[in-house]
Amino acid sequence: MFDIPLVLDELSINDFDVDNMYNLESQVNELLKGSIFILLEGNSNQVEGIVNIIESKWAPKKKRRRVGYLNVIDELLKKRNRIAHGEGFDVVTANELKEATEQIKKLCDGLLGKLTDKLAEMKP
């Protein structure tokens, strides 16, 4: 199996000196904390106790960071969408275009290398 998200993670870690592609986020968001705070009439100690209980029962969510090649792709798509829909009259400078082209070429070379390795593994 050739899992593109995992390959993108590996390439991003190697090419952008990113140490991790995921963050762990508590299941208890600010809205939930606020609701608990209101229900407990502002008793911070009780709120903290309940939040600790919830966090001990619910594992943190694993959230993918938008760094490395994911960020490169996101930025290209944002610009493309703004230009395609005529929003904001985004101007792409020659420097930005050159940098984006280099990043995409580097990504394609990395994907080609990983795919070639995978095909070599599968070869009888």
Each residue's pLDDT tens digit, 35-49: 999 999 989 899 999
- Total structural domains within the chain: 2
Q: How big is the chain by its Cα radius of gyration, in Å?
A: 22
Strand spans (E) along 2-68: 22-25, 61-64
- Give the domain extent around 30: 22-64
Q: Are residues 85 and 123 in the same domain?
A: yes
Q: Are residues 85 and 122 in the same domain?
A: yes
Q: Are residues 35 and 92 in the same domain?
A: no
How large is the angle between the packed helices 69-84 and 4-16, nearest 10 degrees?
110
Q: Are residues 14 and 71 in the same domain?
A: yes
Does 124 or 66 have the greater pLDDT score? 66
Q: Are residues 59 and 70 in the same domain?
A: no
DSSP 3-state assignment of 109? helix
Q: Are residues 73 and 101 in the same domain?
A: yes
How large is the angle between the packed helices 69-84 and 94-122, nearest 10 degrees?
130
* pLDDT at residue 65 is higher than 90: yes
Average pLDDT over residues 108-121: 92
pLDDT digits (tens, 9 = 90+) for 1-30: 678 888 999 999 999 988 899 999 998 999
* pLDDT at residue 85 is higher than 90: no
Q: Are residues 90 and 121 in the same domain?
A: yes
